[in-house]
Amino acid sequence: MNRFSYHRAGDVAEAAQMGAEADTRFLAGGTNLVDLMKANVERPTRLVDISRLPHNKIEELPEGGLRLGALVTNADTAYDARVEQRYPLLSSAILAGASPQLRNAATNGGNLNQRTRCYYFYDTATACNKREPGSGCGAINGVNRIHAILGTSEACIATHPSDMCVALAALEAEVRVEGPGGARVIPFADYHRLPGDEPSKDNTLQPGEIVTAIDLPADSFTENYTYLKLRDRLSYAFALVSVAVGLTMEGGKIAKARIALGGVAHKPWRVPAAEALLEGQAPSPELFGRVADALLQGAVGQGTNDFKIDLARRAIRRALRQAAAGTPQSQTDKHVA
């Protein structure tokens, strides 16, 4: 990797100020950044180590929600008793991703900010508008088995690789950030962005801004939920398609529904109109089929990922059935019920 200087930040304000300067990157768990530096995709001249900042706790919120410190590891979050009991959808999604070693190092903030695993983004010998704006896209008309079917642009068809973020989208979390311009709160749906004509931007952070926490609302899904992840091997692989579902059931009918898809777009994919189709209705295969169609409206295959449209349609229906029945997908026993 290239040579760089290393600075250990004393507080968020100092880190934000340094982070706003060119060619500077924040280092937390490092599981994605260090890898990208080895591949010469990232070539920072300075790393600002934020791993010792005090955003390393999980705390109760006064309104009944939970605040996940940005520097808490993915493992400590998934195994936290409060998260397991009140946000089992989040716990399940985190445990569906990466490996135990990576989850022990990777942080919550880093999970949000990880880059795509598009092969062309990683391979500096190929064209990639995300890595090198204006160079073109190797994935379009290339090998695109893992690529997006929704929300793509002529510049980029990359996906966001996170599992955790798919659950956070369904839970309607909020992202707390601090930067040179102060602190602000970003609704999860507005945190990541679609590629458009600026695919180099994965999210809506401004220069120097640091994620300090993720807030989970009090309203969660403890009975009727599932995280269904489909991939090329049963563990330790990125999703081809994943589905996070949270339902609130009242007297056999669905009072509230939240659905997010992973592996299909540049951000966790939600369609509020599709969720609205479920509300006030009793679960049925016909209804779930219509919801799947609404979620996948406008889906376009890119060649080697054409199969994803039908895979996603089936996964959505299956996940809705699992959630409505209160039988969430196990992340240990991989048989899909």
Partner 1 sequence: MDHITGSQDLSAGTDLPGIPITLTINGRVRELSVAPWVTLLDLLRERLDLTGTKKGCDHGQCGACTVLVDGKRINSCLKLAVAYDGAEITTIEGLAQGEALHPLQQAFIDRDAFQCGYCTPGQICSGIGLMNEGRASTRDEVRELMSGNICRCGAYTNITDAVMDVLEKESVK
Q: Angle 60-65-69 (CA atoms, 0-180°, nearest 5)?
A: 60
Of 45, 99, 124, 204, the residue at the interface with partner 1 (CB under 8 A) is 99
Backbone angles phi, psi at 2, to 5 degrees: -70, 165
Beta-bridged to residue 24, according to DSSP, are: 46
Quick check: 280 binds partner 1 (CB under 8 A)?
Answer: no
Quick check: 337 binds partner 1 (CB under 8 A)?
Answer: no
Q: In the structure encoding, which two tokens stand for residue 19, read together?
A: 């982070």
State how far the alpha carbon of 23 is from the alpha carbons of 7, 189, 192, 207, in Å: 13, 28, 21, 11
Quick check: 302 binds partner 1 (CB under 8 A)?
Answer: no
Quick check: 102 binds partner 1 (CB under 8 A)?
Answer: yes
Quick check: 51 binds partner 1 (CB under 8 A)?
Answer: yes
Candidates 98-106, 193-201, 309-317, 320-328 — which segment interacts with partner 1 by CB under 8 A? Answer: 98-106
Q: Provide CB contacts within 8 A for 91, sequence distance 6+.
A: 77, 78, 79, 83, 84
Query: Mask 105-124, x = binds partner 1 (CB under 8 A)?
Result: x-------------------
- Whether residue 161 contacts residue 150, with contact meaning beta carbons closer than 8 Å, is answered with no
Tell me, by CB under 8 A, how many residues bind partner 1: 31
Taking the C-alpha atoms of residue 216 and residue 328, their distance in angstroms, rounded to an integer, is: 20
Beta-bridged to residue 241, according to DSSP, are: 230
Quick check: 101 binds partner 1 (CB under 8 A)?
Answer: yes
Of 11, 38, 85, 337, the residue at the interface with partner 1 (CB under 8 A) is 38
Quick check: 331 binds partner 1 (CB under 8 A)?
Answer: yes
Of 63, 250, 286, 333, the residue at the interface with partner 1 (CB under 8 A) is 333
Of 100, 136, 272, 303, the residue at the interface with partner 1 (CB under 8 A) is 100
Taking the C-alpha atoms of residue 248 and residue 84, their distance in angstroms, rounded to an integer, is: 18
Among positions 73-92, residues that touch partner 1 (CB under 8 A) are 75, 79
Quick check: 161 binds partner 1 (CB under 8 A)?
Answer: no
CB of 101 to partner 1, least distance (A): 5
CA gyration radius, the chain: 19
CB of 124 to partner 1, least distance (A): 12
Q: Looking at beta carbons only, is 17 or 51 nearer to partner 1?
A: 51
Candidates 14-22, 43-51, 239-247, 317-325 — which segment interacts with partner 1 by CB under 8 A? Answer: 43-51
CB of 105 to partner 1, least distance (A): 5
- Whether residue 199 contacts residue 116, with contact meaning beta carbons closer than 8 Å, is answered with no
Of 85, 204, 235, 327, the residue at the interface with partner 1 (CB under 8 A) is 235
CB of 94 to partner 1, least distance (A): 13
Backbone angles phi, psi at 321, to 5 degrees: -65, -45
State how far the alpha carbon of 253 is from the alpha carbons of 257, 279, 282, 293, 326, in Å: 11, 8, 4, 21, 13
State how far the alpha carbon of 334 is from the alpha carbons of 102, 224, 304, 331, in Å: 21, 19, 25, 6
Of 34, 189, 309, 336, the residue at the interface with partner 1 (CB under 8 A) is 34
Positions touching partner 1 (CB under 8 A) are 1-6, 27, 30-31, 34-35, 37-38, 40, 47, 49, 51, 75, 79, 98-102, 104-105, 235-236, 331-333
